[in-house]
Chain A
Amino acid sequence: MSAQIAGLALAIALTVVGAIGAVLVREVMRAMISLGAFLFGVAAMYAYLGYSFLAVAQVFVYVGGVLVLMVFAVMTARRADSERPALVSRHDVGSAAVAAGVGAMLFLSLRTAFAGSAVAVSANSSDLAAELLGPRLVAFEAAGVFLLVALVAVGVIVKGGEDR
């Protein structure tokens, strides 16, 4: 077994185990760690496929941003004394059916959507920059302005809350 296959197997195992754990583990913090393992596994898959920029961005944005935000929320959530925050659902079967349905729908639609057209992809970060700052410059700038406006809005709202 070559190193690459071993790496891919490890990435798949991390993704699957993390995904299952994130759904089934009852303790919130452990579920969060499973989610982190899943996100890290996805980054490892990107790295295996040669998209090193995407892999690092995945770690940066999802593990460093989204996951930290969720862990923050768990830590600041109110909890009963000497009891760990736990997830309890009364709709196990129903939610599993809905999740399976959504997954199947996504799989089928994505498979047919990209079946005919070969999407041009490049593993290189400089190609990505040329693409973003060349043909897609307007969309890129619009997204930037939108995010800036959102950031300023958050600042204004928070400031208003302080004054009240």
Chain B
Amino acid sequence: MTSFLLGLAWGIAGVLVIAGGAVIGVWWERKVAGRIQLRYGPQQIGPAGSLQMIADVPKLLFKEDVVPLAADRPLFKWAPLAVFAPVAAAMAVIPFVKGWAPFDTSVGILFFLAVPSLEVVAILVAAWAQRNTYSALGGLRAASQMIAYEVPRALSVAPLVLLAGSLRPVDVVGSWRWWWLPLLALGFLVYVIASIAEMNRGPFDLPEAESELVAGYFSDYSGMRWAIFMMAEYGAIITASLFAAATFLGCGWPFDGAVGVVALIAKTALLVTVVMWAKWTLPRVRQDQLLRFCWTVLVPAALVQLAIVGVVLPWL
């Protein structure tokens, strides 16, 4: 029973980390967007507007939870949680310190890549449950994009697995050397781009284009259920950045122990900022451009990276 309770405790910890990260992420995104576009962002409440995030939470909690009349009630109500849960689950396999991950499994990297496919199903169900043509369109777009970009994302992680000779994230961190950085630069770039598309963020945010599809697959959601979708999105940013910082960028390198964890968090924060920077500077791409870019640029680039590592590997 203890392992079950331990799992439960880790689950609650993961949800709290993602919820906290999402609240901070919203504030940070406003500041980053403001600075990039030569405005201030939140600045009235607290120092540098930092108490704005505390003001946002009760606002969302007390908003009315509207369920459309025609909606499929049980599916409508449970779908947001099903979208959020895989994001929290994916965080469990990430090694936070050299040699330790909350859920240390021999197929951790595969687990991390497989879990977003549960999210695709949940997004489709959420889009369908609203009984709204626009949401359905947004859901179909989101799903097609997420499935397409899963391919380059998985391919970009494969060189790591080759170099480490293991699917266990802890082993990847353990065998990480500084020269992996230049060797895997192309794969890292593919991973970042594919991850941005995978989490439906700008410039690949067609599925939830606010002005055209009114937030796409969750257009009929309001209040806390809407906030859970946003938490899932920010959670995905944090999880993908944390994974990249831990595996591609060598976890706490060049430090060890507690300072290493701080270094890992700093690297993650930097990657999160890069993701936000991309959203607020690059124009949105069209759906056909998006899918063509995936199959004709990203997948070949990932394969080239795989070939480079395959050629270099026997001499290491």
Q: Interface on A for B, CB 8 Å cutoff?
A: 1-3, 6-7, 29-30, 33, 36, 52-53, 56-57, 59-60, 63-65, 67-68, 71-72, 74-76, 82, 84, 124-126
With both beta carbons as reference points, the residue of chain B lying nearest to A6 in the complex is identified as: B4
24 examples of A-B residue contacts, CB within 8 angstroms: A1-B1, A2-B1, A6-B4, A7-B4, A29-B72, A29-B75, A52-B105, A52-B106, A53-B106, A53-B110, A56-B111, A57-B114, A59-B115, A60-B113, A60-B114, A64-B114, A64-B116, A64-B120, A64-B147, A68-B117, A68-B147, A74-B128, A75-B128, A125-B110
Measured CB to CB, the closest approach of chain A to B199, in angstroms, equals 16
Structural contact, A125 and B107, CB atoms closer than 8 A: yes
Residues of B within 8 A of A64 (CB): 114, 116-118, 120-121, 147, 150
With both beta carbons as reference points, the residue of chain B lying nearest to A7 in the complex is identified as: B4
Residues of A within 8 A of B166 (CB): 126
Residues of B within 8 A of A7 (CB): 4
Structural contact, A71 and B121, CB atoms closer than 8 A: yes
Q: Interface on B for A, CB 8 Å cutoff?
A: 1-4, 70, 72, 75, 105-107, 110-111, 113-118, 120-121, 124-125, 127-129, 136, 139-140, 143, 147, 150, 166-167
Structural contact, A60 and B70, CB atoms closer than 8 A: no
Residues of A within 8 A of B121 (CB): 36, 63-64, 67-68, 71
- Please tell me which one of the listed residues A1, A59, A124 contacts residue B117 in the complex, with CB atoms under 8 A apart: A59
Measured CB to CB, the closest approach of chain B to A156, in angstroms, equals 15
**How far apart are the CA atoms of A56 and B116 in the complex, in Å?**
12
With both beta carbons as reference points, the residue of chain B lying nearest to A60 in the complex is identified as: B114
Measured CB to CB, the closest approach of chain A to B62, in angstroms, equals 31
**How far apart are the CA atoms of A7 and B124 in the complex, in Å?**
28
Structural contact, B136 and A75, CB atoms closer than 8 A: yes
Measured CB to CB, the closest approach of chain A to B248, in angstroms, equals 21
Residues of B within 8 A of A52 (CB): 105-107
A75 touching B75 in the complex, CB below 8 Å, given contacts A36-B121, A64-B117: no
**How far apart are the CA atoms of A7 and B5 in the complex, in Å?**
12
Residues of A within 8 A of B120 (CB): 64, 68
